[in-house]
Structure 1
Amino acid sequence: MSLVNEEHIQIGKKHLSKIKEMFDFRKNVAQETFDTQPLHMRRTICFHAGLSRRHLEMKFAELTPTERHQVVAALNSLLGLTESLPKFISDDDCKINIKH
């Protein structure tokens, strides 16, 4: 049973945002991640964020605040996906395991 609920998460996010505002040298992880991705990965992020093809060539700073929130949500969702995946999947797994 989790003792953390959505309200606690939102309060934590607000506190983290305030702390980040206090530092001028802070790094924007979402911006760096989005801006440095190759085209095929940016296509995945934009698709998952519900953005259109025109966003593929844009920098994070060129997105509207709403679009940036969509990108952050997509990145967080994709992080959750990657945590559930194995570290390596062999080409041998292309074969069907009928005993599974």
Structure 2
Amino acid sequence: MLLATDTQKAIGIKRISQIKRELFAYRKNVAQEAFDKSPPHIRKTICFHAELKARHVLMTFAEMSYTERQKIIWALNDLIDLSKTLPRFISDDDCELNSN
């Protein structure tokens, strides 16, 4: 049984929140970094796949709504899955068609 007043509980909760922010300040938001550091042509691809509008290409991850950020994360995960199926390198020679 906790023998603290409501004021003491509120102070404790506030302090715990401060400690969490300090302890986990080093944590990166991988999706935010990936999107914000991407060049415009890659952002365009991500936004297209996320079914967002052209204006999103010029926005930062933090400027988007929660739903829009969620779509970006889904698109990034889809692109990661796609990249796993692609060969490491594709030569310019592959422009030539195989004739059977």
Specify the TM-score bucket, using the shorter chain as the normaliser.
0.7 to 0.9
C-alpha distance in 1, partners of 2:54/2:47? Answer: 8
Deviation, 1:26, is 0.6
Specify the structure having the higher radius of gyration (Cα): 2
User: CA–CA distance in 1 between the matches of 2:99 and 2:31?
Assistant: 42
TM-score, reference length from structure 2: 0.75
Q: When the two structures are superposed, what TM-score results if normalisation uses the length of structure 1?
A: 0.75
Question: Quick one: distance in 2 between partners of 1:86 and 1:98?
Answer: 22
The alignment covers a number of residue pairs equal to: 79
Gaps of 5+ in 1: 1-20
Q: Offset at 1:43?
A: 0.2
Deviant stretches of 4+, over 3 Å: none
CA distance in 1, matches of 2:37, 2:27: 18
**What residue is the counterpart of 1:66 in the other structure?**
67
In the other structure, the counterpart of 1:49 is 50
Q: SS of the counterpart of 1:25?
A: coil
Identify the residue that residue 82 of structure 1 maps to in structure 2.
Answer: 83
Q: Deviations over 1:15-38 (max 9, x none)?
A: xxxxxx973321100000000111
